[in-house]
Structure 1
């Protein structure tokens, strides 16, 4: 009875954390977040990406980006449907971030400013990332697998808003851009904040000139300079507050199957 083989499989950490159970752990990361999101009635989200290194103090450009991210979190939460709270009524366009500091914390903070819930999809990193204090505790998750975290970002997204950032922000942006380009994600609007920044760090036009993307591919993105501009651009590009964009992620079309599973 003391032998490891006699332990209940679900209570045997050595077994559950072994190589053969990687698929099971992947499923658990999907199911745990999914259950909590359903319990809170989160039907759709607006995903906000941006650097963890940007704070409300310091460099003027950093301060401006932080301020606008916080303002956008507030605007989207007030106008997008996240504050709906009657029993059985879904929440739409709930702010969802990577759960960390910087721009992520600013967007979550903006939602908290108006009493709206928001989501933090944290990831376990070698240098531990702690959740910011503004994402809703019951909607603050920690993932081991980047792939599952990205899936949760994509599957409920009504829109993507990307503030200035580095490698991690690029990774997340181009993941969604690739899904949009290949038709594996719905036609959600993608808005980049601060056109001068993005044109200085990514040669979008050069990609066209070298034949790596088409000019039409660049229509997948648009730009805005401040929080009100972002909201206006999202509406112009098809965002409808209240969930009219929403498609049930549990009944995927063939085009969205790779995103929603």
Structure 2
């Protein structure tokens, strides 16, 4: 019987790869809708497995340093403009401390630590997963042994996840739109610290959803009265007729963690851990998968 040709070339062909193993195929423009759906389902399923029913979302600048990094940052700055810039950033470290303290308090009082029979967790801290204010909020939750979420985004200059979000709840998104959807869809409250374009983008998207009734009403709190009153002249929008005066009631301006917590409670946040039963909000060591 004559020798038959082997099928090596067929087995090597990219067409023979199962679709789920063919990364080039999965990245085709025509499959963008499927990739979008996969980003939705992966995070949704893992959050459901953890019992995360609702979140408190914390936004703020990635450029705000941790207090322990300030001294090294100032020492590395050369005299002149670089030193002045470093000193301005150093003064912002107070917001890192307050974001961390707020996340501790909210995790203890909000229900993220509650071990219910049905494993449901409410008001779990959720951030964009990166450094600065995001790191501070994830760190505050970790201080008291609470889980927290990091919704990271792939950027040209790669964003690294901070080391404080719960590893099993640390996600990476390609699409900004899907990341924003996950940040918003479980949010019981939005807490916004000083920040730049990204923070403003997230803030105004949520305010627009509230103003237009496209999302359920939820508390929105802006930390840093002086900062927000200088950076955004909300009253000017009313004066120019671009928003109604009642739209200014969509959010509160606060300065301290306790004030922020009281604001979101007053605005309707349901805390699932009664204050009398809540554990102390002092920091403690936690396991990486807490």
Do they superpose with TM above 0.5? yes
1:179 aligns with 2:209: yes
Mapped to 1, the partners of 2:15 and 2:189 lie a distance apart of 48
Q: Does 1:91 align with 2:121?
A: yes
Secondary structure in structure 2 of the residue aligned to 1:207: helix
Q: Which residue of 2 aligns with 1:24?
A: 34
Shift of 1:85: 2.6
Q: Which residue of 2 aligns with 1:253?
A: none
- Find the counterpart in structure 2 of residue 34 from structure 1: 44
Distance 1:16 1:160 in 2: 35
In 2, Cα distance between the equivalents of 1:99 and 1:3?
39
Match of 2:152 in 1: 122
Deviations 1:46-105 (A, max 9, x none): 000000000123445412111110000100000000002345231000000000000000
- Give 2:166's aligned residue: 136
The 5 A counterparts of 1:37-76 are: 37-57=47-67, 58=70, 59=89, 61-76=91-106
CA distance in structure 1 between the aligned counterparts of 2:224 and 2:49, rounded to whole angstroms: 36
Where does structure 2 lack aligned partners over 5 or more consecutive residues? 1-9, 71-88, 274-290
Residue aligning to 2:132 = 102
**Match for residue 262 of structure 2?**
232
For the residues of structure 2 that align with 1:210 and 1:82, how far apart are their CA atoms? Answer: 42
Compute the RMSD of aligned alpha carbons: 1.2
Conservation of the 8 A alpha-carbon contact between 1:76 and 1:93: yes
**Map 1:130-209 → 2, pairs under 5 A:** 130-209=160-239
Q: CA offsets per residue over residues 23-56 of structure 1, 9 Å max, x none?
A: 0100110111111101110000000000000012
- Distance apart, 1:240 and its partner CA: 1.1
Bigger Cα Rg: 2
Give the TM-score normalised by the residue count of structure 2: 0.82
Instruction: Look up the SS of the partner of 1:96 in the other structure.
Output: strand
Q: Provide Cα deviations, 1:207-236, integer angstroms capped at 9, x if missing partner.
A: 111111110111111111110110000111
Aligned counterpart for 2:110 among listed residues 80, 85, 89: 80
SS of 1:197 mapped into structure 2? helix
TM-score, normalised with respect to structure 1:
0.91
Does the 8 Å contact 1:56/1:62 carry over to 2? no
Distance 2:209 2:130 in 1: 24
Which SS does the other structure have where 1:159 is aligned?
A: strand
Give 1:7 deviation, angstroms.
1.9
Q: Does residue 216 of the first structure (1) align with residue 217 of the second (2)?
A: no
Name structure 1 gaps, 5 residues minimum: 244-261
